[in-house]
Structure 1
């Protein structure tokens, strides 16, 4: 996006043509409203950036098919030059012609034509340079098919367009629309504009269309259209006095036959511009992220950083991208239709004048420091206020204009330094992610790098495959409440991204739910299919490894079993009730995990949920699932099987912010090896780690499992895993959590409870004799034989005696016999004891560490 600088934000409005209410499409679904179609096509216009084009910013859809468009705007136009009533200098005419052609050529390269050139749509910036406005109207309306008014002004349209007549999509008598206009259409319009500038007044105004047709037919019989126009309007002497190169340009533009008329690209290289073309530097597209050779912005700062914001009168906001400024305006309470209403009449382009000045924002906000060691500068009052804003609920922070400005500027700078500043992006994302940059931030968190566009372009997305039919069925049902995803362009992009993933992963298959997974990435990267595909391709192996195998039953069953153990670990009372009534995760949780909750929640909730999910490892979804159940806890405990089925068939409203907060808490209480799955994604080598350097916390979400050692968890058969109620943890996990002086490779910082005491309690259920020969420091001994009889009958409940005071610890059961340990743990769960787990491998594996202690003999 271009910076705002001296431009304004302008709003224009029009109505899409309505559709009949009682007509359905061939698939039996209601027809897509024309306003939705226009909204979908509009999105690509936001990516078309050129110095000669007014930048499109946003579109909103109102009642009765009304559309309001926001774009870069300037008050001055060619119409102002014509109002002066005198011819424009030949030098200015050539300048305008060359700059208009630059914009037209760039549009043509993107498959578009203007078709609505007029003096009021050729704007002039403060330097007098051309800025073409409304250049996307013809594209977004499908060449005028979706509106009931003609695109273009008859006085400036070429003969071939006038000859086609008008076309209205709502006119049932017209079956086929006229052929779309090509680049040469705009060349004729430019010729009329230039002729008017040369003679100093508008021509062909207020002429009946039939008279216009007669005049055009007359022009077709003439060899010199310029002379005829000059004679018709009494300005022949003025035209004859024009320089030869200007007359030549007018003749080439106003060539009657399109076959002989040049295109904008051909005109730019014409000899008429040989003296002016050298004054212009060819436009270079800005460097984009995720390219073949990513180029980080120059981040060096002057020795005196305060020099960057020395001028108190400097308008720092004007240097920000125009879409950022509009986003902040909306946060500050801007309302497009209200602005139009305040003009007392819906006008075509009233400038938005209520943009907040943000005067209280300190200059240093626009130049954030990225290194902690440089953060010793005194904070402004504004910064102190913002530090308090961080503690407010996320929904309030996302609507705070000043706060969002600081976050947007910071993330923009960090993203331009990606991947060098990847860890800082992750660190800042733990606070929050500004919605405006969420798509790029997610890509960075997922580790997307390299030339993603070339890779995407190299995938065959056109050849029919067996999956096509299922994709076609699923797309019209996927998040279709959203205007963008329900548009025809949204469906096309959906189809292409999904098909690209299926084709590029031949070992996997398309399962229903993949479309829901794709939806958040496509929404956030609507104009960058390659990035949507790259994010999706990075997300699936991290969180859904092998979920899309043709036979994924073993993967799903293991996942659901681990989830059951997580419910028992964190909420044994709820786990016991659900198991008693037979309401197992297989009945409700498969859509949760197969789509990572995108099938369950609307997009705005998914965005907040995934902002945190992407910071966590592959076990974090278990915590989200438990957090959802705990929000429904009272209703689940009070109901039986049938009521629970009905409850989940129409899931009640879930507080996502609370869900995220509780998920993080559950994650911090869960030992990392408790969620071990043998079908999870294999560990990455250190060089492929998702972070730069070691993360600072044991429970850090960027934690990468250590290389498998003799003290790691061992895989279990699925039948054995299902038979155990409580999860197992590894010996290396126990060493870390107990702060034992183990091998250096197992040492990591320890997460403690709020009381300051270690969160873990080791319960050794071996006999007293075995315990005395060697045990873990700090562990307690509750012999299995004192709790259970020879036949497995319960003798006494340890939860009401020895363990009563340890209810808020993670309790690890240790034994030399694994069956005894799992039975003991299952009993604790049965009596609603939380956070119970079993040491994998038991004391036999623990003995090999040499960390057991023997109590000193008492004297």
Structure 2
């Protein structure tokens, strides 16, 4: 059941190559007034699609890194053996082998052409051979990623193998201001000529046209155009006419068709594949079927086949389990184990540093005399590929048991990942997240486990949630987020069916916002990033006609686009699932009532968890409207860089729509000392340039705040409609503290009632529902809060019900365990304070959630407001009061004292 695009490593190696992009002048800006995008970033953006192109005849691209001075380093699948070895040895190649090489090269070329690409750099050293002698085309993406050579100062391709029409066009360099227009890009037929030259060399048992001057090469090519039989001319020129004449007729016919001088008469790779010259061998090859992706309409097991001999699955390959992992996994682990691309290239003298005095620029005097350096040859293409040694990684993983690579998924007993095989790895889970993400053995364990779980998605959806509570491996974060958001089905067809091209009024605003959105990131700042940004945002706007584009939607899109850069459909699907869950109706044309309700509930959450801070901020007039709207409208993506958002959202996606309130309070608590010490102006300045926030601490404290917050305290009238309990996310029998079960329950008569916005703003403490109170007091059925944090430090239940009715009413029936502090003994007829209940009665209950109960809601809110003023935390009011509680039949009458 294939679901990822990367091939297994198996007998391949990782190879690294490098080149420079063309430098741009520093004092030139684009039409929008912004600095020009460096060519290296343009190349980096175009490269990403190459990682998704997988075919048995193509070397898999893995990664690209950008270094100093526009240097780019490419990592790809690599093999040491190539067709160049045959030519260097001068050995005869059988006609059958020639046809095999031709057919397999054409298979790779045809697949590239379907993706709108041509090789253009076909040569013997770029036609690699795997361990069984099958063709693997290397460097096939160089022409595409460099925009047909426009972004580099060297030609793409080898003159000896380029067709006449390409030689006639000449070269183009983007850094040469004298050349305005680039030559037309090459088409698929270019590679057919290159293949013909390559096959001719195999048949002639030597390399041709290698040492001819380019002008001589041009004359020779022009002369060839006047000939009827180019093959005979080439053979006579290089003294191998007899060898060529002895070839089978189908091989000679193949060479003639490849080396057709006029492009209009030359066949394409697809046409040549179906030609009769391959009639004898085409039956040996089965058409390649692209792997079914994780989110698609077709079953992922549709093409699953078991070998006739089942023992083939159990062959021992020397216990090289790492070779069966995807090539991008191996590279990711290689980097974690200390791999350094530039160091590897420096050791092989591919990268050579120069003393500063040798890098002075060239300058010209008034008399025309020039001084300084000539053209730096290092900026030309070095075709060398350096093999990356995996020995360091293998030594690091030598003590990892084989069972780690094949974890069992049916064990529901352990609360830790089931694949742990040693105490050392089990202890890693207690380390900070940033350390765990850099631990090679730990990441191997997590990647393998998540890989298995995601292959079984949605069947193993609950276990994905369970493991995500531990952490999410960065390599699989994009797919894991999609699983947590419940993305399913044929997302590609839905996305492709959305009109993303017709102009709409929002286009202008999108164009303005994109160049300002997370542009510190190389990927998102690339032209390809801007194009994808525009398409995904426009798709969302078009597909949600009842909603509108608000500034901030671009920031919200950024994490999903970054993680799914080459899969716009998945980025769109994730964003479309995220917004209704956490930002329901935030993007209405008139969203003022939604925003105001949200900010009011946030104010109540601040008062609930930190009344001292709440009192101070209210006193100086620093209300959430002044700073929190960008927080919640973008779910913090506008204020934090992407690497922090990833860790924050790893936890956010496990929670319900109320979790962002807790994140906001946790941020304020990190800034607490500075906020308490400053006035309004200083606070405004503080939030205009938000100080560094410890995200791991923020996440940890957010979870703790969420645990202490009754689920109905964050009720929003304009939140997403409740889901049936059967549809909510669960973790087995015991609901998680993140679980959607806390919020997404069916509304009952005991649920919270909606309030007018003016009434909600008048109350400083949140309300909780009767059903919430029943659960917290454990009056009937199992409680939701079973974890130790749900109890006070003394071990007593965390909740305290304070009944402020008269003693007479209290005696007629009250909640078991509640205490009575009559409102009339605390406040006078005019609402003046008579005595402070904190000093008299509640001083010993600071570690509890205090629920104020009354038959008169005004009295309850007044009592709660007073507790807030004296900095008493975790105070809330029972919605509907004792009148709604009486209908439950759970009130008790105290026994008479003897």
TM-score computed with the length of structure 2 as normaliser: 0.92
What secondary structure, in the 3-state scheme, does the structure 2 residue paired with 1:106 have? helix
Q: Among residues 716, 736, 753, which one is paired with 1:697 in the alignment?
A: 736
Shift in Å at residue 293 of structure 1?
A: 3.0
CA–CA distance in structure 2, aligned partners of residues 390 and 249 of structure 1: 61
Unaligned stretches of 5+ residues in structure 1: none
Give the 3 Å change call, closer, same or farther, for CA 257–271 of structure 1 in structure 2. Answer: same
CA–CA distance in structure 1, aligned partners of residues 690 and 306 of structure 2: 52
Give the 3 Å change call, closer, same or farther, for CA 525–350 of structure 1 in structure 2. Answer: farther
Shift in Å at residue 703 of structure 1?
A: 3.5
Is the aligned partner of 1:540 residue 2:599?
A: no
Give the 3 Å change call, closer, same or farther, for CA 78–646 of structure 1 in structure 2. Answer: same
Deviates more, 1:377-386 or 1:347-356: 347-356
What secondary structure, in the 3-state scheme, does the structure 1 residue paired with 2:62 have? strand
Deviates more, 1:527-536 or 1:682-691: 682-691
1:689–1:704 contact (8 Å) kept in structure 2: no
Shift in Å at residue 722 of structure 1?
A: 0.3
- 1:539-585 per-position Cα deviation (integer Å, ceiling 9, x unaligned): 00000000000000000000000000000000000000000000000
Give the 3 Å change call, closer, same or farther, for CA 15–380 of structure 1 in structure 2. Answer: closer
Residue of structure 1 equivalent to 2:590: 551
2:408–2:419 contact (8 Å) kept in structure 1: no
What secondary structure, in the 3-state scheme, does the structure 2 residue paired with 1:554 have? helix
Q: Among residues 496, 509, 522, which one is paired with 1:470 in the alignment?
A: 509
Is the aligned partner of 1:109 residue 2:114?
A: yes
Give the 3 Å change call, closer, same or farther, for CA 461–15 of structure 1 in structure 2. Answer: same
Shift in Å at residue 345 of structure 1?
A: 3.1
Shift in Å at residue 741 of structure 1?
A: 2.5
TM-score computed with the length of structure 1 as normaliser: 0.96
What secondary structure, in the 3-state scheme, does the structure 2 residue paired with 1:207 have? coil
2:15–2:77 contact (8 Å) kept in structure 1: yes
Shift in Å at residue 286 of structure 1?
A: 1.1
CA–CA distance in structure 1, aligned partners of residues 356 and 87 of structure 2: 22
Give the 3 Å change call, closer, same or farther, for CA 807–429 of structure 1 in structure 2. Answer: same
Q: Count how many residue pairs are aligned between Structure 1 and Structure 2.
A: 859
2:409–2:418 contact (8 Å) kept in structure 1: no
Shift in Å at residue 434 of structure 1?
A: 0.2
Give the 3 Å change call, closer, same or farther, for CA 459–30 of structure 1 in structure 2. Answer: same
2:867–2:875 contact (8 Å) kept in structure 1: yes
Give the 3 Å change call, closer, same or farther, for CA 698–117 of structure 1 in structure 2. Answer: closer
CA–CA distance in structure 2, aligned partners of residues 373 and 701 of structure 1: 21
Give the 3 Å change call, closer, same or farther, for CA 700–755 of structure 1 in structure 2. Answer: farther
Shift in Å at residue 812 of structure 1?
A: 0.2
CA–CA distance in structure 2, aligned partners of residues 747 and 852 of structure 1: 23
Give the 3 Å change call, closer, same or farther, for CA 697–236 of structure 1 in structure 2. Answer: closer
Shift in Å at residue 355 of structure 1?
A: 38
Deviates more, 1:472-481 or 1:693-702: 693-702
Shift in Å at residue 794 of structure 1?
A: 0.5
CA–CA distance in structure 2, aligned partners of residues 382 and 307 of structure 1: 27
1:352-367 matched pairs, under 5 angstroms: 358-367=397-406
Q: Among residues 314, 317, 322, which one is paired with 1:317 in the alignment?
A: 322
What secondary structure, in the 3-state scheme, does the structure 1 residue paired with 2:632 have? helix
1:78–1:123 contact (8 Å) kept in structure 2: yes
Give the 3 Å change call, closer, same or farther, for CA 532–255 of structure 1 in structure 2. Answer: same
CA–CA distance in structure 2, aligned partners of residues 39 and 214 of structure 1: 38
1:11–1:348 contact (8 Å) kept in structure 2: no
CA–CA distance in structure 2, aligned partners of residues 460 and 541 of structure 1: 22
Residue of structure 1 equivalent to 2:783: 744
1:698–1:751 contact (8 Å) kept in structure 2: no
Unaligned stretches of 5+ residues in structure 2: 1-5, 362-395
CA–CA distance in structure 1, aligned partners of residues 412 and 891 of structure 2: 43
Give the 3 Å change call, closer, same or farther, for CA 225–444 of structure 1 in structure 2. Answer: same
- 1:402-450 per-position Cα deviation (integer Å, ceiling 9, x unaligned): 1000100100110010000000000000000000000000000000001
Is the aligned partner of 1:793 residue 2:798?
A: no
Shift in Å at residue 360 of structure 1?
A: 1.0
Give the 3 Å change call, closer, same or farther, for CA 600–401 of structure 1 in structure 2. Answer: same
1:39–1:484 contact (8 Å) kept in structure 2: yes
Give the 3 Å change call, closer, same or farther, for CA 352–329 of structure 1 in structure 2. Answer: farther
Give the 3 Å change call, closer, same or farther, for CA 303–254 of structure 1 in structure 2. Answer: closer
Give the 3 Å change call, closer, same or farther, for CA 143–352 of structure 1 in structure 2. Answer: farther
CA–CA distance in structure 2, aligned partners of residues 494 and 190 of structure 1: 38
Residue of structure 1 equivalent to 2:621: 582
- 1:691-711 per-position Cα deviation (integer Å, ceiling 9, x unaligned): 486653466355453211111
Give the 3 Å change call, closer, same or farther, for CA 351–252 of structure 1 in structure 2. Answer: farther
CA–CA distance in structure 2, aligned partners of residues 825 and 426 of structure 1: 38
1:422–1:691 contact (8 Å) kept in structure 2: no
2:533–2:561 contact (8 Å) kept in structure 1: yes
- 1:73-108 per-position Cα deviation (integer Å, ceiling 9, x unaligned): 000000001111133111110000000000000000
CA–CA distance in structure 2, aligned partners of residues 374 and 464 of structure 1: 55
Shift in Å at residue 687 of structure 1?
A: 5.0
Is the aligned partner of 1:189 residue 2:194?
A: yes
2:419–2:445 contact (8 Å) kept in structure 1: no
CA–CA distance in structure 2, aligned partners of residues 354 and 2 of structure 1: 42
